[in-house]
Amino acid sequence: MKIHLTSVFVDDQARAERFYTDVLGFVKKHDVPVGGQDRWLTVVSPDEPEGTELLLEPAAHPAAVTYRDALVADGIPLAQFAVDDVHAEYERLRGLGVGFTQEPTEMGPVTTAVFDDTCGNLIQIATEPQ
């Protein structure tokens, strides 16, 4: 078994597409209408085009709102992405206007930071020791 797709709920798929591609630098993999305004919208890392897809899923379900608000209030990220250098990525994203709830911090062997994806979620970036 392999993990080939995981998802985050997003408030607005169009905005999420812009944020996850233009700001974070992922590339769109699938974009298929699935009824109404909703799309099956996935992105992948340019470093791993055949790697795990991230589904940007509409947060239309009422429970998704409660779930995400409670997690965000406590600063809990919904996904983690690996970067080569958390500090450099922090500076880059800050320059693009991204807000962080946790600045780069050494957590034992791992350095992490947490930012707001502007679509209702917190995302953690991490650099693991070489």
Partner 1 sequence: MIGKRTLAYAEGVADDLFKALADSTRRTILDELAERSGQTLFEICSRLSMKHQLGMSRQAVSQHLAVLEAAGLVETRREGRYKFHDLNTAPLRLITERWPPPDPSGPQESTS
Interaction site with partner 1 (CB under 8 A): 69, 72-77, 101-103, 105-110, 112, 114, 122
Measured from the CB atom, is 47 or 128 closer to partner 1? 128
Measured from the CB atom, is 42 or 112 closer to partner 1? 112
Measured from the CB atom, is 62 or 109 closer to partner 1? 109
Q: How far is the CB of 72 from partner 1 (least distance, A)?
A: 5
SS (H, E, C) the chain: CCCCEEEEEECCHHHHHHHHHHHCCCEEEEEEEEECCEEEEEEECCCCCCCCEEEEEECCCHHHHHHHHHHHHCCCCCEEEECCCHHHHHHHHHHCCCCEEEEEEEECCEEEEEEECCCCCEEEEEECCC
